[in-house]
């Protein structure tokens, strides 16, 4: 194998991020190699991916589903591992150079933590890890010398724009948000929103959890907290602007008033490619702006009454400690309840807010405390649903 090949563990390879990451790997002309693939329940898709990419490790993290899986579907030479601990096992392998964190939700925490604990590079899509434990993750990186490269499009944009100046010269990070499908819907109609309507995102094709988060704008709330810890910037310096075209992925305003933006059509393959090939830029598969066409870009301040989630993200980023873990878990459980038909769309944010307010805030929690609180917040959502 050539020395410059990066061996990538694709965590959550059957998801929206995972599938896009595999396209980037397939187009890399051998510079990237998928050495591990992981999925939770879509094991037929996982097996098809394994046939195509011939990884060394294939992980089925849901042990119950894995028990029914026919290993003969995998090509020879693949090691088949089962259960959530196997995610950690592959993330720690010496033969893995980069871990692409594409698992959705809190379930992504342990494998990202393990990779950073080994001093590895993580290409991070799984923002929930930073929302839950961003401060501890930052400390782990300092201690073990690992690295986080953002895959979330806004944070990839910020990361690229930040290279135009010094950290001390940053006045503001400006996160763009499409506004989701309901930014212009009369407020009284929000109450009746169905799961199918909430899953129809105007600009991005993503997994169900983040698509609902985009509709409530909790996604932007989580991204405020993610940016706070990824870039070590005070919460007060992070702003949100509505940009319906999703072409400017975020902006950095420097102290002299210069604003640096990163632009490209909405296509996750670009930030994934940038993170996996970093520090190189390559000619890849992502869509490009067609400069022969008229391009209109709009920027509007967010309607904070319509999208109360934004204030929750600002608060969690400001107070730190246990707030992010509680907000993340409450939201994750509330979104699942909405998808299951047990909660109205308009209850997701109030449930999250009330659980965030009810918890006993700690400013310097351990990882174990955060994991406990995560469980507690999920139980509180069940109580809210039953009430
Ligand atoms: P998907 O729902 O499409 O995919 C999730 C992946 O995680 C699947 O491979 C799934 O396996 C696996 N998974 C689900 N539950 C578990 C679990 N309990 N343990 C282990 N693995 C699990 O999500 P997305 O790809 O949309 O999102 C992934 C992450 O990336 C999220 O954190 C999201 O916020 C972030 N992100 C996504 C973007 C996007 O464009 N999709 C953009 C920016 C960030 P299986 O399919 O087998 O069930
Ligand atoms: Mg994003």
pLDDT in tens, 305-354: 999 999 999 999 999 999 999 999 999 999 999 999 999 999 999 999 99
Q: For residue 308, how far is its CA from the centre of ligand 1 (angstroms)?
A: 25
Q: For residue 114, how far is its CA from the centre of ligand 1 (angstroms)?
A: 18
The residues placing their C-beta within 5 Å of ligand 2, an ion, are 152-154
Task: Say whether domain 6-150 belongs to CATH 3.40.50.300.
Answer: no
Q: For residue 112, how far is its CA from the centre of ligand 1 (angstroms)?
A: 14
Nearest CA to ligand 1 atom 4: 15
Q: Report whether 223 contacts 313 (CB < 8 A).
A: yes
In this prediction, residue 4 has a pLDDT band, given cuts at 50, 70 and 90, of confident
Is the dihedral angle over the CA atoms 305, 307, 310, 316 positive or is it negative?
Answer: positive
Q: For residue 219, how far is its CA from the centre of ligand 2 (angstroms)?
A: 7
Q: For residue 103, how far is its CA from the centre of ligand 1 (angstroms)?
A: 4
Provide the 10 A C-beta neighbour count for residue 329: 30
Rounded mean pLDDT, 222-232: 98
Packing angle, helices 367-386 and 127-144, rounded to 10: 170
| Position in ligand 1 atom list of the atom nearest CA 13 | 9
| Position in ligand 1 atom list of the atom nearest CA 209 | 2
Find the ligand nearest to 210 CA.
Answer: 1
| Position in ligand 1 atom list of the atom nearest CA 213 | 34
What's the pLDDT at 202? Answer: 86
What's the pLDDT at 387? Answer: 80
Instruction: Read off the pLDDT of residues 121-178 as tens digits, 9 standing for 90 and up.
Output: 999 999 999 999 999 999 999 999 999 999 999 999 999 999 999 999 999 999 999 9
Which pair of structure tokens corresponds to residue 270? 């670009």
| Residue 335: burial class (beta carbons within 10 Å; 0-12, 13-18, 19+) | buried
Evaluate if residue 201 carries a pLDDT over 90: no
Quote the mean pLDDT of the chain: 97
What's the pLDDT at 3? Answer: 67
Ligand 1: which of 23, 104, 113, 152 to mutate, judged by most atoms within 8 Å of the beta carbon? 104
Ligand 1: which of 38, 41, 102 to mutate, judged by most atoms within 8 Å of the beta carbon? 102
Q: For residue 256, how far is its CA from the centre of ligand 1 (angstroms)?
A: 39
pLDDT > 70: percent of the chain = 99
Provide the 10 A C-beta neighbour count for residue 303: 15
Rounded mean pLDDT, 6-23: 98
| Position in ligand 1 atom list of the atom nearest CA 268 | 40
pLDDT > 90: percent of the chain = 96
What's the pLDDT at 2? Answer: 52
Q: For residue 291, how far is its CA from the centre of ligand 1 (angstroms)?
A: 33
Instruction: Read off the pLDDT of residues 245-285 as tens digits, 9 standing for 90 and up.
Output: 999 999 999 999 999 999 999 999 999 999 999 999 999 99
CA 148 to centroid of chain Cα atoms = 12
| Position in ligand 1 atom list of the atom nearest CA 12 | 9
Q: For residue 67, how far is its CA from the centre of ligand 2 (angstroms)?
A: 34
Question: What's the CA gap between 209 and 168, in Å, rounded?
Answer: 35
What's the pLDDT at 386? Answer: 87
Nearest CA to ligand 1 atom 32: 126
Instruction: Read off the pLDDT of residues 18-61 as tens digits, 9 standing for 90 and up.
Output: 999 999 999 999 999 999 999 999 999 999 999 999 999 999 99
Q: Report whether 250 contacts 268 (CB < 8 A).
A: no
Query: What are the domain boundaries of the chain?
Result: 6-150
Evaluate if residue 5 carries a pLDDT over 70: yes
Q: Ligand 1 — pocket residues by CB below 6 A?
A: 12-18, 39-42, 61, 102-104, 107, 125-128, 152, 204, 206-210, 268
What's the pLDDT at 257? Answer: 98
Find the ligand nearest to 124 CA.
Answer: 1
| Position in ligand 1 atom list of the atom nearest CA 127 | 32
Helix ranges, the chain (H) = 16-26, 43-53, 63-67, 85-91, 109-117, 127-144, 153-162, 195-198, 208-216, 218-231, 269-277, 309-319, 323-339, 348-358, 367-386
Q: For residue 206, how far is its CA from the centre of ligand 1 (angstroms)?
A: 9
CA 23 to centroid of chain Cα atoms = 18
């Amino acid at each position: 194998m050539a020395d410059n090949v990066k061996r990538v563990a694709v965590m959550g390879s059957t998801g929206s991020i995972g599938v896009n990451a595999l396209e980037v790997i397939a187009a890399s002309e051998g510079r990237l190699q998928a050495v591990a693939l992981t999925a939770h329940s879509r094991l037929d898709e996982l097996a098809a991916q394994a046939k195509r990419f011939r990884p060394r490790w294939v992980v089925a993290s849901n042990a119950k589903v894995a028990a029914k899986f026919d290993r003969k579907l995998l090509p020879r030479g693949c090691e088949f591992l089962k259960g959530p601990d196997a995610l950690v096992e592959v993330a720690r392998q010496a033969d893995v150079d980069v871990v692409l964190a594409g698992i959705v939700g809190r379930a992504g925490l342990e494998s990202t933590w393990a990779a950073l604990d080994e001093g590895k590079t993580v290409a991070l899509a799984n923002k929930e890890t930073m929302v839950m434990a961003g401060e501890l993750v930052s400390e782990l990186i300092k201690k073990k010398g690992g690295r986080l490269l953002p895959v979330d499009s806004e944070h990839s944009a910020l990361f690229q724009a930040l290279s135009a100046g010094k950290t001390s010269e940053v006045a503001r990070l400006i996160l763009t948000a499409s506004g989701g499908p309901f930014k212009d819907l009369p407020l009284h109609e929000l109450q009746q929103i169905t799961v199918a309507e909430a899953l129809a995102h105007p600009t991005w094709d993503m997994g169900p959890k983040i698509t609902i988060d985009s509709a409530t704008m909790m996604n932007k709330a989580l991204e405020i907290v993610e940016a706070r810890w990824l870039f070590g910037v005070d919460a007060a310096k992070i702003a949100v602007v509505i940009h319906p075209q999703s072409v400017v992925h975020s902006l950095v305003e420097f102290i002299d008033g210069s604003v640096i933006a990163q632009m490209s059509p909405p296509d996750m393959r670009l930030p994934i490619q940038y993170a996996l090939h970093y520090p190189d830029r390559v000619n890849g598969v992502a869509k490009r702006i067609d400069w022969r066409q008229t391009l209109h870009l709009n920027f509007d301040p967010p309607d904070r009454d319509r999208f109360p989630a934004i204030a929750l993200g600002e608060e969690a980023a400001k107070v730190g400690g246990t707030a992010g873990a509680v907000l993340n878990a409450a939201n994750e459980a509330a979104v699942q309840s909405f998808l299951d038909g047990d909660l109205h769309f308009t209850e997701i944010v109030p449930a999250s807010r009330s659980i965030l307010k009810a918890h006993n805030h700690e400013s310097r929690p351990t990882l174990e405390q955060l994991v406990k609180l995560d469980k507690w917040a999920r139980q509180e959502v069940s109580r809210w649903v039953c009430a």
